[in-house]
Amino acid sequence: MRWSDFDESNATLSVRRQLKRETGRLVTSDTKTLRSRRTLNVSSSVARKLQQQRRDQVAACERAGPRWIQTGFIFTSIKGTPLDPANVNKDFQLVCDAAGLGRWHPHELRHSAASLMLAQGVKLQVVSEVLVTRRSA
């Protein structure tokens, strides 16, 4: 996701593109299906984390100086390039293994969040509102 996908005033994050590797290069393209395009509501704590990420990225850009490559991505390498999805998945798996959680994929987090909220007694209506997505055009 890019910074242009984060609407700070409405606390939403739009999913419109995907980052993938094609012929050895990272490229962005439209999501695989129209149904994959969505706008997610983000909690105030996630919005604050994204705001901190923006400040951290500005500092990283200043440290890197002319080596920084401005891509507009929210999460980048130390020189501004997008994170390789394969490396993100590997790192995620290392974290899961270290936590004793077994094999997980980042896409499973949404379902798990809903299950955990319900198990903690959060009302179904609230869980639904947290997870609600608005389709993007």
Residue 122 tokens read as 């959060």
Of 37, 35, 48, which is closest to residue 5 (Cα–Cα)?
37
Per-residue pLDDT of 83-136, as tens digits, reads 998 899 999 999 999 999 888 888 788 888 889 999 999 999 888 877 765 555
Q: Reduced to 3 states, what is the DSSP secondary structure of residue 59?
A: helix
Per-residue pLDDT of 37-58, as tens digits, reads 888 888 899 999 999 999 999 9
Question: What are the CB-based long-range contacts (under 8 Å, 24+) for 45-54?
Answer: 47/8, 47/11, 50/6, 50/8, 50/13, 50/74, 51/8, 54/3
Of 103, 106, 122, which is closest to residue 114 (Cα–Cα)?
122
Amino acid at 20: K
CATH number for 24: 1.10.443.10
Question: How many CB atoms are located within 10 Å of the residue 50 CB?
Answer: 17
In contact, 79 and 67? CB cutoff 8 Å: yes
Confidence of residue 75 (pLDDT cuts 50, 70, 90): very high
Q: Provide the strand spans (E) within the chain.
A: 6-7, 12-15, 17-22, 25-30, 38-41, 133-135
The number of domains in the chain is 1
Residue span of the structural domain in which 8 resides:
3-135
Task: Tally the residues of the chain.
Answer: 137
Instruction: Give the pLDDT confidence score for residue 73 in this predicted structure.
Output: 96
